[in-house]
């Protein structure tokens, strides 16, 4: 098939082209990953591709590393990879290390690099949380993302801000966070909802609504009988007051609308 030809050709090209020819690398590596993820990856292929990714992620050429991260996305989204554990630790180490540096100086960071790191990071937290259990990956990424969200517009672009807020929504819907993290995101959404910028406030509004609608579901999976029983139980007065406060803030922000 075309993907077999693509995989074999790009693999051979990667072997024969000069190491210093990084322009070729930035396109060859994601191409190899895409072809391999479509064809299916046994352990031998997984190890071969993971070594290519490991070398590329250590490159000083940023576009090559960005290409490698796009390749990682192809692999993570594939259902035909036998040994996904070969890739996840390597990628999480890279993202955790680089996201820390970027959150401290995001104004000088490459936006494309930041966006693809966020995409891969949120995807791993949403679908591969079992492989990151026991590590601080989720905690580190959440902390750094919150730091970037709280920065000024000059430090964090609106696009990065929006991607982070949507990523938070996905984690809430997937129930991939603990109660402390969910509460933190609720407070963050209320805080950002009060920003004068309509675009920033709308992203915060989406996060606030998601956090409110997923609050009950986040307590755990239960049967239909348990759901009916819980609905008949009186709610915590403190939770009701907090919910009323959030709704009040939300409608107050809607009433103000665009800044004059």
Flag whether 238 is in a domain. Answer: no
Give the best-scoring range by mean pLDDT among 120-124, 183-187, 236-240. 120-124
Q: What is the mean pLDDT of residues 146-163?
A: 90
Domain end call among 86, 121, 155: 86
Regarding whether 175 and 148 lie in a shared domain, the answer is: yes
Flag whether 144 is in a domain. Answer: yes
pLDDT score of 152 more than 70? yes
Residue 81: strand, helix, or coil: strand
Flag whether 240 is in a domain. Answer: no
Give strand pairing partners of 81: 41
User: Which pLDDT value is given to residue 213?
Assistant: 85
pLDDT score of 197 more than 70? yes
Regarding whether 57 and 166 lie in a shared domain, the answer is: no
Residue span of the structural domain in which 192 resides = 90-225
User: Which pLDDT value is given to residue 185?
Assistant: 95
- More confident site: 74 or 246: 74
Domain end call among 86, 102, 125: 86
User: Which pLDDT value is given to residue 244?
Assistant: 66
Are residues 73 and 81 in contact, defined by beta-carbon separation less than 8 angstroms? no
The count of domains in the chain is 2
Regarding whether 220 and 94 lie in a shared domain, the answer is: yes
User: d(Cα 139, Cα 144) in Å, to the nearest integer?
Assistant: 9
Backbone phi, psi, residue 41, to 5°: -125, 115
Flag whether 160 is in a domain. Answer: yes
User: d(Cα 191, Cα 108) in Å, to the nearest integer?
Assistant: 26
Flag whether 255 is in a domain. Answer: no
- More confident site: 189 or 253: 189
Q: Is 44 exposed, middle or buried (0-12, 13-18, 19+ CB in 10 A)?
A: exposed
- Polymer length in residues for the chain: 260
User: d(Cα 240, Cα 89) in Å, to the nearest integer?
Assistant: 41
pLDDT band for 17, please (50, 70, 90 cuts). confident
Flag whether 101 is in a domain. Answer: yes
User: d(Cα 124, Cα 168) in Å, to the nearest integer?
Assistant: 13
CA nearest to 84, candidates 141, 131, 29, 135: 131
Regarding whether 122 and 77 lie in a shared domain, the answer is: no
User: Which pLDDT value is given to residue 76?
Assistant: 96
Q: Which residue has the tokens 């100086």?
A: 105
User: d(Cα 160, Cα 164) in Å, to the nearest integer?
Assistant: 6
User: Which pLDDT value is given to residue 3?
Assistant: 95
Domain end call among 66, 86, 106: 86
User: d(Cα 97, Cα 137) in Å, to the nearest integer?
Assistant: 10
pLDDT score of 223 more than 50? no
User: d(Cα 239, Cα 219) in Å, to the nearest integer?
Assistant: 14
Q: Which of 110-114, 170-174, 222-226, 241-245 has the lowest mean pLDDT?
A: 222-226
Q: What is the mean pLDDT of residues 150-173?
A: 92
Regarding whether 103 and 208 lie in a shared domain, the answer is: yes
Q: Which of 215-224, 228-237, 249-258 has the lowest mean pLDDT?
A: 215-224
Among the residues of the chain, which ranges form H helices? 2-16, 22-39, 43-57, 62-76, 88-104, 111-127, 137-150, 158-173, 179-193, 198-213, 224-232, 237-256
Are residues 218 and 171 in contact, defined by beta-carbon separation less than 8 angstroms? no
Are residues 67 and 114 in contact, defined by beta-carbon separation less than 8 angstroms? no
- pTM, two decimal places: 0.85
Flag whether 237 is in a domain. Answer: no
């Amino acid at each position: 098939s075309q993907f077999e030809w693509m995989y074999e050709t790009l693999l051979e090209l990667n072997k024969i082209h000069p190491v210093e020819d990084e322009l070729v690398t930035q396109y060859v590596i994601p191409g190899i990953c895409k072809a391999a993820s479509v064809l299916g990856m046994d352990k031998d292929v997984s190890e071969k591709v993971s070594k290519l990714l490991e070398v590329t992620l250590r490159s000083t050429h940023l576009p090559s590393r960005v290409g490698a991260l796009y390749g990682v996305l192809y692999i993570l989204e594939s259902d035909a990879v036998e040994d996904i554990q070969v890739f996840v630790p390597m990628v999480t180490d890279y993202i955790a290390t680089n996201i820390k540096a970027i959150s401290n100086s995001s104004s000088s960071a490459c936006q494309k690099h930041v966006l693809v790191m966020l995409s891969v990071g949120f995807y791993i937290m949403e679908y591969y949380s079992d492989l990151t259990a026991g590590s601080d990956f989720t905690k580190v990424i959440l902390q750094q993302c919150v730091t970037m969200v709280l920065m000024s517009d000059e430090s964090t672009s609106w696009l990065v801000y929006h991607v982070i807020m949507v990523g938070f929504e996905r984690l809430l819907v997937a129930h991939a966070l603990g109660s402390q993290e969910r509460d933190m995101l609720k407070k963050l959404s209320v805080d950002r909802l009060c920003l004068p910028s309509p675009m920033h406030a709308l992203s915060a509004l989406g996060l606030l609504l998601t956090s409110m609608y997923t609050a009950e579901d986040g307590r755990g999976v239960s049967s239909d009988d348990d759901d009916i029983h819980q609905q008949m139980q009186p709610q915590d007065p403190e939770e009701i007051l907090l919910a009323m406060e959030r709704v009040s803030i939300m409608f107050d922000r809607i009433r103000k609308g665009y800044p004059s």
